[in-house]
Amino acid sequence: MNSFVYNIPTKVYFGENQLDNLGKELSQFGKRVLLTYGGGSIKKIGLYDKVIAEIQKAGLEVFELSGIEPNPRVDSVREGAKICKEKNIDVLLAVGGGSTIDATKFMAAGAFVEHDVWDFFNEKQAPINKALPIVTILTLSATGSEMDAGGVISNLETKDKYGRVDSHLLPKVSFLDPTNTFTVSPYQTACGTADMLSHIFEVYFNMNQDLYMLDCFMEGLIKTIIKYAPIAMKEPDNYEARANLMWVSSWAINGFINGGKRQAWSCHPMEHELSAIYDITHGLGLAILTPRWMKYCLSENTVSKYVQFATNVFGIDKNQSDMAIAQQGIEKIEEFLFKTLGLKSTFEQVGIKKEDFPHMAKKACKGGVLPGFIPLQQEDIEKIFKMCM
């Protein structure tokens, strides 16, 4: 069992009617706020006006950067970092989903460097020694960026999509109001759900012994997702469902579930290659990959973890062979992703082509081995991609 450091100081205002704390929280960092958001849905739901009102009430000066894309682009990060420098920004306020928050994190880091922000991601791996403070208001339950220290940025020129984690990027304060997710479409709810599930699976499916209490917690998170995602899709303004999904999104990835596990992730790096080239929704790509990856990794060596999963999460009858139990667990997840959530189930359906498999697979494992639940080489990844056709 490995040792670990637990350190998640993000303060979270959870629930309705907490926005009157926004001005106070922003003010502790200074007077000049850069407000970042995406395509303008925050205006439609009235959140933009509320945020501006609170900022003005606190006597702060606000600058804006809108139009941050899904699978956020390095160009947006460049623009944000430039504004931070030119306008002497004190604090960034990201209002949106994971894309807006991810991009904002690297603007906050970019404010302190002279080099191009893409150097945080490419082979240079430029150090992040400092970042402006970040406050977030979440509008989509999925990536967990509101309470973690990482983000993923795409470069359309180079067709690269890379993640980076650094403790300086952890939001100082996040506002999680489930009503801000009431207008999230059933499709986006489903994609966000697949993303959360994958965050948990990347840690849960692991053969290194770790804390049982964390396995129990992860099983609880998965059960919560399975219970509430279909409700949120059918009743978009069901507060209970939205609240559970929202708090799960944060705890699926904030680091608590890791404990002493050091395992690298598998499905996320594979999926990043899909959305780098095809710009598909991250959660959709994960949904297609996940059950195939589970099937591919199943063996006599790994079956015990699947048995734990299938019996504890789905209550599969224990009086069967381990392999039979494991397979039923995988079937249950397939059923959930493709029937209950109604997500597309094959690469064909989303237009991903066979000819891209070799170089996507090569990039996913960086030409060597993708470590994880089981180590995957290029040929393994290609096989998993083929299973997705």
Where along the sequence are the contacts to a copy of itself (CB under 8 A)? 1-9, 11-18, 209, 211-214, 216-217, 219-221, 223-224, 227-228, 239-240, 243-244, 247-248, 251, 259-260
Q: For residues 310 and 302, what is the distance between their CA atoms, to the nearest angstrom?
A: 13
Least CB distance to a copy of itself at residue 203 (A): 15
Q: For residues 61 and 26, what is the distance between their CA atoms, to the nearest angstrom?
A: 11
Q: For residues 38 and 72, what is the distance between their CA atoms, to the nearest angstrom?
A: 9
The residue among 179 and 302 lying less far from a copy of itself, judged by its C-beta, is 179
Tokens of 137: 């208001």
Least CB distance to a copy of itself at residue 216 (A): 3
Least CB distance to a copy of itself at residue 35 (A): 23
Least CB distance to a copy of itself at residue 248 (A): 5
The residue among 115 and 227 lying less far from a copy of itself, judged by its C-beta, is 227
Least CB distance to a copy of itself at residue 174 (A): 9
Least CB distance to a copy of itself at residue 221 (A): 6
Q: For residues 285 and 343, what is the distance between their CA atoms, to the nearest angstrom?
A: 10
How far, in Å, are 42, 74, 137, 138, 316 from residue 13 at the CA level?
18, 29, 9, 11, 38
The residue among 207 and 369 lying less far from a copy of itself, judged by its C-beta, is 207
The residue among 18 and 263 lying less far from a copy of itself, judged by its C-beta, is 18
The residue among 195 and 271 lying less far from a copy of itself, judged by its C-beta, is 195
Tokens of 357: 């498999």
Least CB distance to a copy of itself at residue 169 (A): 16
Identify the residue whose tokens are 């809108």. Answer: 66
Label residues 205-225 b or e (16+ Cβ within 10 Å = b). Answer: bbeeebeeebbebbbebbebb
The residue among 21 and 377 lying less far from a copy of itself, judged by its C-beta, is 21
Tokens of 223: 């059960």
The residue among 182 and 239 lying less far from a copy of itself, judged by its C-beta, is 239
Q: For residues 138 and 126, what is the distance between their CA atoms, to the nearest angstrom?
A: 28
Amino acid symbol at 256: F
Whether the CB-CB separation of 84 and 34 falls below 8 Å is answered with: yes
Q: Sort 255 into a burial class: Cβ within 10 Å, 0-12 / 13-18 / 19+.
A: buried
The residue among 31 and 172 lying less far from a copy of itself, judged by its C-beta, is 172
Q: For residues 297 and 205, what is the distance between their CA atoms, to the nearest angstrom?
A: 10
How many other C-beta atoms can be found within 10 angstroms of the C-beta atom of residue 186? 15
Torsion of CA 170, 175, 176, 179, to 10 degrees: -150
Least CB distance to a copy of itself at residue 213 (A): 4
Question: What is the SS3 assignment for 17?
Answer: coil
Cα of first residue to Cα of last residue in the chain, in angstroms, is: 39
Q: For residues 73 and 54, what is the distance between their CA atoms, to the nearest angstrom?
A: 29
The residue among 58 and 211 lying less far from a copy of itself, judged by its C-beta, is 211
Tokens of 366: 């960086």
The residue among 17 and 59 lying less far from a copy of itself, judged by its C-beta, is 17
Tokens of 173: 């304060």
Question: What is the SS3 assignment for 160?
Answer: strand
